[in-house]
Amino acid sequence: MRRASSDSPTFSPLYRQIKELLLKALDSGEWQPGQLIPSEAELAQRFNVSQGTVRKAIDELAAENLLVRRQGKGTFVASHKDPRAFFRFLRLVPLSGEIEPARSVPLECWRAKAGPEAARMLELSLGAPIIIVRRLLEFSAKPVVLDEIYLPGEVFAGLTLELLKESQESLYSLFESRFGVRMVRAEERIRAVSADRSSAELLRVPEGSPLLSVERVSFTYGNRPMEWRRGLYSTIDHCYFNELS
Amino acid sequence: MRRASSDSPTFSPLYRQIKELLLKALDSGEWQPGQLIPSEAELAQRFNVSQGTVRKAIDELAAENLLVRRQGKGTFVASHKDPRAFFRFLRLVPLSGEIEPARSVPLECWRAKAGPEAARMLELSLGAPIIIVRRLLEFSAKPVVLDEIYLPGEVFAGLTLELLKESQESLYSLFESRFGVRMVRAEERIRAVSADRSSAELLRVPEGSPLLSVERVSFTYGNRPMEWRRGLYSTIDHCYFNELS
DNA sequence: GAGTGGTCTAGACCACTGC
DNA sequence: CAGTGGTCTAGACCACTCG
């Protein structure tokens, strides 16, 4: 491992090159979500750099929530099985009272061909196979979110409504354990819309009620889009919470 | 500077103690927004620690956007005059096309006494003097956001509609230069609501249209709330953009 | 060239976990 | 107790900015 020299136009410091190597190992599945990765000393030896350099690479990956450090134990691959990860990707809090567990109610799951919008969002070619899932999220047995989820068909080939219904874990947790796809980051675009008839019925609000429309694209390692979804959120008892800094 | 010993229940590493000292200096106004702070070497000498320890303290403050490092120049106090800071606190992007500059149109500015809600949000006592500002934000001469802003009256004593109208800078930039208050972070709670008559007129949308309601509490150093605002966003041509990780 | 932040190293020691 | 990450130091050198 040698650093790119300063005159190189693609100069990047050593610790960033190490970071890329770690990312590649994560992407390749060498270390699975939830698993312990080698110690800093071991990695330093493997890459022929000092421990401090490995440390800085891991620092950045931990800051991006790809790795989780636990003092005395080691460094682990982040996993959606961790309940703390759940609210990182569902920024919904009750207007009053404590946060409660969500219950997912799968409604439908079918195969289709990517239209122009889905193809663009998922970076697939037009007509590529996709899977569409519709489901409700309930809090205290009341429907709050109606999701329509578009997935690349090849990656999630074995996904069925039955599988979704049997699964006790969160959706992203299922993607991880069953399809080897870990969602790493996402972009959300939020608008206010009026409930159409079918959404209103499912969410048990009057037709025409204002709802949040939350469009999300989720990415796995290497910024590859792996999910496009549109959620309709009823904000009668909940709100979308965001922290700015 | 000595570290708290490990048996101490309030153990905190040296670099965090340095961070607190830097925060205190920022809060006290020793270094003003936009200004250069002393070099790492100087600070290390002042606090009697190594440069690496100062560096780690500054690292965290830079990650929280309180300081900005510029290689070769030095470390600066973050400022809302920096145009990049603007979109950190207004996560609004056009549905299509490039991001455009916003224009603020102040509508009203009056004195009042804090009601129960404003008092709670701003951590003031009931009936404490507050200032209320109403203003529109326009993009390409079209109204997009209607804000109602509640400020503690004592801190923002000299604020008037005239001052707001004369000011060419952003609101937070004005707070900084004119009242010495720097907003450091904020919490937003987003819901979908229907436009009432007066909001609909100002935003030039039909009455009853769905709007985003964005409630924000902004904090200055030390997590002291300094602003409570409610914005109504028309999401016909724009959407609220958020990145999850 | 002087001064700043940025990188990299090596070594010592501390704090936490689990055997 | 051994092994892990966490802190702190000191020193060398690199990259960037500006006069």
pTM equals 0.95
Cβ within 8 Å, pair A190-B240? yes
- Topology of B14-77 in CATH? Arc Repressor Mutant, subunit A (1.10.10)
Q: What is the mean pLDDT of chain B?
A: 95
The three-state DSSP-derived secondary structure of chain A is CCCCCCCCCCCCCHHHHHHHHHHHHHHHCCCCCCCECCCHHHHHHHHCCCHHHHHHHHHHHHHCCCEEEECCCEEEECCCCCHHHHCCCCCEEECCCCCCCEEEEEEEEEEEECCHHHHHHHCCCCCCEEEEEEEEEEECCEEEEEEEEEEECCCCCCCCHHHHHHCCCCHHHHHHHHHCCCCCEEEEEEEEEECCHHHHHHHCCCCCCEEEEEEEEEEEHHHEEEEEEEEEECCCCEEEEEEEC
Which chain C positions come under 7 Å from a protein C-beta?
Answer: 3-11, 14-18
For chains A and B, CB pairs below 8 A equal 102
Binning pLDDT at 50, 70 and 90, where does residue B145 land? very high
User: Per-residue pLDDT tens for A58-80?
Assistant: 999 999 999 999 999 999 999 99
Which of A96, A190, A194, A199 best probes binding to B when mutated, by most B CB atoms within 10 angstroms? Answer: A190
Cβ within 8 Å, pair B190-A240? yes
pLDDT of residue A209: 98
Separation in Å: C8 C1' and A88 CA = 34
Nearest to B88 among A63, A186, A244 (CB): A244
User: Per-residue pLDDT tens for B39-66?
Assistant: 999 999 999 999 999 999 999 999 999 9
Phi, psi of B125 (to 5 degrees): -85, 155
Cβ within 8 Å, pair B245-A65? yes
Domains B14-77 and B83-240 equal at CATH topology level: no
User: CA nearest A139: which of A235, A243, A242, A241?
Assistant: A235
User: Per-residue pLDDT tens for A77-133?
Assistant: 999 999 889 999 999 999 999 889 999 999 999 999 999 999 999 999 999 999 999
Q: Tell me if the domain spanning A83-240 has CATH number 3.40.1410.10.
A: yes
- B241 to chain A, any CB pair closer than 8 A? The answer is yes
For chain A, state the CA radius of gyration: 21
Binning pLDDT at 50, 70 and 90, where does residue A11 land? confident
Question: What residue spans define the domains of chain B?
Answer: 14-77, 83-240
Which residue is it, tokens 């507050």? B130
Nearest to B210 among A63, A185, A194 (CB): A194
Q: Is the pLDDT of residue A169 over 70?
A: yes
**Beta strand B67-70 pairing with A129-139:** unpaired
Cβ within 8 Å, pair B190-A190? yes
Q: Is the pLDDT of residue A7 over 90?
A: no
Separation in Å: C13 C1' and A24 CA = 34
